[in-house]
Amino acid sequence: MTDRHADDEETFRIRQMTIDDFPEVFHIGEEVFTADYSQSLYRTWDEFEITTLFNSDNELCLVAEAGEEILGFALGTTVNKHNSPWKYGYLVWLGVHSGIQQGGVGSKLFKEIKRRMKEQGVRIIMIDTSADNQPAIRFFQKQGFDDIQEHVYMSLNLTRKTKKKGKKP
Ligand SMILES: CC(C)(COP(=O)(O)OP(=O)(O)OC[C@H]1O[C@@H](n2cnc3c(N)ncnc32)[C@H](O)[C@@H]1OP(=O)(O)O)[C@@H](O)C(=O)NCCC(=O)NCCS
């Protein structure tokens, strides 16, 4: 990756993702969505994330490109909640190549996915990220997100023997 500053209208553009972009998008995701990024299986990056979202919402699968090089991507979907007349947008994955972060690529990807979601009738956009992912939280606040709600994930290990209550050791 060159050390170009991405925040230059001339150097990169946003377009819809195609099948040919899958390997590049997958590798950028592997680079930025590490095990540290998400300790819960619910948010595990793999190739099915790309293909599933591409099959259901290809208009909301975008890449940022400079020449032949993919710099980042945004993958989203829309959700209709039961009992709610509103349509929600869910930005599932947003990733920018680590060498070019803080250069305006994420903002431009977000601006375009927001425009497309609005065009599809979305009233509220949702995102989720780890509570300690401060760069992403700062990023989304900068885009106007607020009303942070914390969520607790728990796990139960079924391979571990459980102690029966009241039984002497
Ligand atoms: C979050 C992410 C997509 C942001 O993309 P980006 O191209 O780096 O963001 P931008 O350059 O458009 O930044 C816009 C604003 O976000 C904030 N921001 C971005 N990165 C930041 C960082 N590391 N620390 C603090 N604030 C940050 C700043 O306010 C910045 O505005 P400024 O440059 O005027 O200060 C990118 O850092 C990334 O891929 N992170 C790893 C994956 C991830 O956490 N994805 C989000 C959840 S799916």
The answer, yes or no, to whether residue 9 has pLDDT greater than 60, is no
Spans of all domains in the chain: 13-142
pTM of the model: 0.89
- Closest protein CA for atom 5 of ligand 1: 106
Say which residues have a Cβ less than 8 Å from residue 8's Cβ, sequence separation at least 6.
none
Ligand 1 pocket residues where CB is under 6 Å: 32, 93-96, 101-107, 129, 133, 135-136, 138-139, 142
Task: Classify domain 13-142 at the CATH superfamily level.
Answer: Gcn5-related N-acetyltransferase (GNAT) (3.40.630.30)
Could you read off the pLDDT of 28-73 as tens digits, one per residue?
999 999 866 665 656 789 999 999 999 999 999 999 999 999 999 9
